[in-house]
Amino acid sequence: MSARTELLTIERTLPGARLDTYLRDKFPAVSRGAIQRLIEQGHIRVNDCVVKPTHTPRAGEQVRVSWPEASPPEAHPEDIPLDILYEEDALIVLNKPAGLVVHPAAGNERHTLVNALLHHCGGQLSGIGGVARPGIVHRLDKETSGCMVVAKNDETHVALSTQFAGRKINKIYHAIVCGEMQREQGEIRAAIARHSSHRKRMAVDDDLGREARTSYRVLERLTGATLAEAILHTGRTHQIRVHFQFLGYPLVGDRVYGNRQNLRLAELTGYRAPRQMLHAFQLAFIHPRMGRRRSFEAPLPADFLDALAALRGVGNRRPNDE
């Protein structure tokens, strides 16, 4: 049974494109994975026919999207403390701790940020993300800490998702990377795709990848490492981790993308990071109701400060200290 149905007419043929990515652009509030599941389950049809997510959109085709009724919630409220930076009736901004998974998934059905939000908000969260992801507009990796915004209603969810899709949200991260970066600042433009053989990893791939762009600047030079600021201009999975690895400076503590360099750093300094040293420091967006820009900052967590203290040596200085 469907809650509502939408009908789209494809205006022009898109050679090399896929139906799932086409619809992802049309419905930025819905994840690509969710769209793929709806296609595979027959909730999304082309000219009333079941197709695959890889179907090539062709001019004149009619796409019927039948949004299914929400099934009973699978995530349950849990009394997990939240570090709230800002809260009102439309949204909540919080400082996610490292080690906390954002939403339930296979292997992580409980003790997630969603479980904590359901308890804190008493069910007042947007439903667009589905029963497993109420309120979730964007995500951070389990081991990444920092700023996240959560929508309390569908109107806010759509407005924020549109800003994310339109690259109108400012996202600034602090990262500690292995190695002493040569340039004071720069920009990385390298397309990112799923790794060809390791499906849980991403990789730079100019042929199959999606556009990805990251700006960076050095904040402080450390012993065998660098504290850098990274600005995300796109939002690809593992983007900062993959881009810094591509430059030859993987994140400190990132054993997926930089195990060898982390072993070398441990030999040099004796320091072993408990997780990838990546922190979403600042998040700025246009408030959907106020119509003005709001900016929020999450202070660096204790383990990040411990890493900086361990990797600071005599004579270290910030680039602008001269």
Give the residue ranges of DSSP H helices in the chain.
19-26, 32-40, 113-121, 154-165, 239-247, 259-269, 302-311
- What are the beta bridge partners of residue 108? 105
**Is 130:137 a contact under the CB 8 Å cutoff?**
no
Burial 267-299 (b: 16+ CB within 10 A, else e): eebebebebbbbbbbbbbbbbbeeeeeeebebe
Burial of 219 (0-12, 13-18, 19+ CB in 10 A): middle
Are 219 and 318 in contact, with CB atoms under 8 Å apart?
yes
Query: Is there a contact between 295 and 322 (Cβ–Cβ < 8 Å)?
Result: no
d(CA 23, CA 44): 10
Taking the chain, what is the end-to-end CA distance rounded to the nearest angstrom? 67
**94, 95, 99, 105: CA torsion to nearest 10:** 20
Tell which residue, 248, 184, 194, has the closest CA to residue 218: 184
Instruction: Kindly tell me the sign of the dihedral angle through the C-alpha atoms of 36, 40, 41, 46.
Output: positive
* 25 counts as catalytic: no
Catalytic residue among 79, 141, 207, 254: 141
Instruction: Give the catalytic positions in this structure.
Output: 141
